[in-house]
Amino acid sequence: MQAVVLVGGFGTRLRPLTNTRPKQMLPIVNRPMVEHVVGHLVRHGVSRVVLALGYRPDAFVDAYPDGRCGGVPLHYAVEPEPLDTAGAIRFAARDAGVEGRFVVVNGDVLTDLDLGRVLALHDERGAEATITLHRVTDPSRYGVVPTDTTGRVEAFVEKPPPGEAPTDLINAGTYVLEPSVLDRIAGGRRVSIEREVFPAMVADHTLYAIDGETYWIDTGTPAEYVQAQVDLLDGTRGCALTGVHRTADVDPRADVELSAVGAGVVVGPGARVTRSVLLPGATIGAGAVVDGSIVGEGADVARGAHLSEHCVVGDGGVVPRDARLAGARVERAPEGVRGG
């Protein structure tokens, strides 16, 4: 079975971290996000992965120069211009010569979905496409998918106003598609699968959905990018992972809790790092506090500084001594500036 993994978006909500790399090459507990996504697919029987690339494709080619990831071959499909979700699926599937039914996943979703169950139901129902769903408390920023008792999709409602959603089941970004879906997608222009293709299939009664009933997170915002890692560190998804890289230098007087600490990171005495992500080579000064925040590669949080509420410090960024930042985005510092 083949899978198309969408990894070509700009990842604007995670800027400035995504100024220099695609979102899916950001680490999730010290391993690129794309490896978690591909690993899950491989565990469920996927034997070839097509990466639908657009923004900064070289990052993937450089990371997997032998064209393999998670033990399976990769096909790199690089769009000449951003084609949006459906346009990207069509381009990538055709570029890779995909035949028969195939799986599509958003490359920024982490889930424990039982793909075999989805495939079995897709076949049983004779669906043209099957969408997986996830139940959320506030569906207003997602695509909401009401179904009838047979699982047939009745509507596809993009981002309903708060309180007006017909269901709390949202599009979870994993699809099983028959090849005929590709013929529904116009070539050479941007086409959204959620706004154009799925609504047309609803009208034709060929679109089905299934509640994944399992762990699911979209890592696209700073808060969720951090939460996806906390969930792997606190045992929410089974055996808890170790978050501190073996080459990190954490002072014994520092306190690091439920955080992913990358290679070569230095955490000074008295520093406190909680529910945060420190990318390789970051430095956290003595007595600094990093809570629920992300510190980019080689960035410098100076002594006594205080970061909270999903601050994002870009690669090489500098947070000055004793600064207090909440929910801030810090870009790379000018050459030669260090925090002290």
What residue ranges bind ligand GTP (CB under 6 A)?
Answer: 6-13, 23, 52-54, 79, 82-85, 88, 106-108, 220
By beta-carbon proximity to ligand GTP, the closer residue of 106 and 308 is 106
Q: Minimum CB separation from ligand GTP for residue 77, in Å?
A: 8
By beta-carbon proximity to ligand GTP, the closer residue of 189 and 324 is 189
- Looking at the DSSP bridge assignments, the partners of residue 130 are 176, 208
The active-site residue out of 117, 125, 159, 190 is 159
d(CA 115, CA 227): 23
The beta strands (E) that lie in 60-101 are given as 68-69, 72-78
| Ramachandran quadrant class, 49 (left: phi over 0; alpha: psi -120 to 50; beta: rest) | beta
DSSP 237: T
Give the number of other CB atoms < 10 A from CB of residue 187: 11
Q: Minimum CB separation from ligand GTP for residue 75, in Å?
A: 13
By beta-carbon proximity to ligand GTP, the closer residue of 57 and 287 is 57
- Looking at the DSSP bridge assignments, the partners of residue 133 are 171, 211
Q: Minimum CB separation from ligand GTP for residue 78, in Å?
A: 9
- Strand-strand pairing, 283-284 and 266-267: parallel
Q: Minimum CB separation from ligand GTP for residue 289, in Å?
A: 27
d(CA 75, CA 52): 9
- Strand-strand pairing, 72-78 and 143-144: unpaired
d(CA 268, CA 139): 41
d(CA 292, CA 313): 12
Give the number of other CB atoms < 10 A from CB of residue 253: 12
By beta-carbon proximity to ligand GTP, the closer residue of 87 and 268 is 87
By beta-carbon proximity to ligand GTP, the closer residue of 174 and 283 is 174
Q: Minimum CB separation from ligand GTP for residue 81, in Å?
A: 8
Place of tokens 């009401």: 146
By beta-carbon proximity to ligand GTP, the closer residue of 142 and 208 is 142
How many secondary structure helices (H) and strands (E) does the chain include?
Answer: 7, 29
Note if 23 is an active site residue. Answer: no
Q: Minimum CB separation from ligand GTP for residue 11, in Å?
A: 5
Give the residue numbers marked as catalytic. 159
